[in-house]
Structure 1
Amino acid sequence: MSHSRKVVAQVHVSIDGYSAGSPDDGMGGMAFLQDHASHEQSATYFEGVWRGADTAIMGRTNYEGFHGFWPSVVHSPDASPRDRDLATWLDTVEKVVFSTTLEKADWQNARVAKQDLETEVRELKAAPGRDILVLNSASIIRALVAADLLDELRITIVPALLGGGLRLFEGNPPYSTWRLGGVCTLPTGAVVLTYERP
């Protein structure tokens, strides 16, 4: 009996619901994650997420940010073994980028989606493989929720108030119900809530 692959979204949000702050805040609006993301236990938790996936989905902004940083970490003597493992995974995993402006993806095993998001993700779910991981792309998460294609939503609430920026859920997302699959507290004060579709 075959089962379709799960689509899992991993996203960080501030206490006031923003997945990115103002670009002026540094790191493209992601400076609020710096202390959290660099903590050993946070990295250990995230490793348990990405090791279960063999396809990564991202938008143009995240693709360009990841591509600009992680390939150099693969062989960096200054990087931790875990960071080198993550960099190797990002280098080698299938990466599907959704963008209306990017014409091609130069990173190995990356491609710009040629179909609309719903069609592309349905085909990915039907193909053999492990989980499909959405990497912190709010617009893609919103679209997947609207299309009822998201199976699991992992929200890491970071103890910061941004006061503005990009909200994870803007506008009026369609009604849906979720069940709590797990709660994990991290030493940084962040809390990971795992929600699953019933």
Structure 2
Amino acid sequence: MSKLKLQMQISVDGFVATGPNDEQKWVTLVWDEVKQYVLELIDTTDTIVIGRKLAVDYIPYWENVSTKPDDPFYEAAQRIVRARKVVFTKTFDKSEWDNTDLAKGNLVEEIEQIKSNNKKDIIV
């Protein structure tokens, strides 16, 4: 059975975002230091689980970056775009993005079903 892994960047002093719109500009300052770790973590997974509010910015952002080979996040974007995404939502009726399924049921039951059907791990 797959494992469910949490991956996030957080600064030593507890910041996850640096601006009123959840900008993560500080992450770019240390990308060279964490890049290999993040890529290796993504490579152990084949599914990304996200909520609807994050999905509307997250998926289009990575799709855009995946078209820019000169972008420092290009390698990560390529992996994220290829991965299956499962968006938890109570409001969307259909997915707007490729490789994306909607989960509308009970969170625990949906995660258990994803875990039992996956060959690789799942990342949140």
Name the aligned partner's letter for residue 27 of structure 2.
L
The reply to whether residue 5 of structure 1 matches residue 2 of structure 2 is yes
Give the deviation of 1:26 after TM superposition.
Answer: 4.7
Determine the C-alpha separation between the residues in 1 that align with 2:11 and 2:90.
Answer: 27
Encode CA deviations 1:143-179: one digit per residue, 9 max, x unaligned: xxxxxxxxxxxxxxxxxxxxxxxxxxxxxxxxxxxxx
The reply to whether residue 33 of structure 1 matches residue 31 of structure 2 is no
Give the deviation of 1:54 after TM superposition.
Answer: 0.3
Give the deviation of 1:79 after TM superposition.
Answer: 2.1
Number of paired residues? 124
Give the deviation of 1:33 after TM superposition.
Answer: 3.0
Structure 1 SS opposite 2:70: coil
Task: Answer yes or no: is the 8 Å Cα contact 1:91–1:107 preserved in 2.
Answer: no
Give me the TM-score of the superposition, normalised by structure 2.
Answer: 0.82
Task: Answer yes or no: is the 8 Å Cα contact 1:97–1:111 preserved in 2.
Answer: yes
Match of 1:104 among 88, 94, 102: 94
> Which residue is 2:121 aligned to?
131
Task: Answer yes or no: is the 8 Å Cα contact 1:8–1:131 preserved in 2.
Answer: yes
Give the deviation of 1:52 after TM superposition.
Answer: 0.5
Determine the C-alpha separation between the residues in 1 that align with 2:78 and 2:37.
Answer: 17
> Which residue is 2:108 aligned to?
118
> Which residue is 1:52 aligned to?
44
Gap runs ≥5 in structure 2 = none
> Given the superposition, is the C-alpha separation of residues 77 and 123 from structure 1 closer, same or farther in structure 2, using an over 3 Å criterion?
closer
Gap runs ≥5 in structure 1 = 135-198
- The alignment yields a C-alpha RMSD, in angstroms, of 2.2
Task: Answer yes or no: is the 8 Å Cα contact 2:90–2:104 preserved in 1.
Answer: no
Give the deviation of 1:92 after TM superposition.
Answer: 1.8
Could you say which structure has the larger radius of gyration? Answer: 1
Give the deviation of 1:105 after TM superposition.
Answer: 2.3
Determine the C-alpha separation between the residues in 2 that align with 1:78 and 1:29.
Answer: 21
Determine the C-alpha separation between the residues in 2 that align with 1:19 and 1:77.
Answer: 26
Fraction of identical pairs, as percent: 26
Is the helix fraction higher in 1 or 2? 2
The correspondence of residues 1-198 of structure 1 with structure 2, limited to 5 A, is 4-15=1-12, 17=14, 19-20=16-17, 25-36=19-30, 39-80=31-72, 83-134=73-124
Give me the TM-score of the superposition, normalised by structure 1.
Answer: 0.55
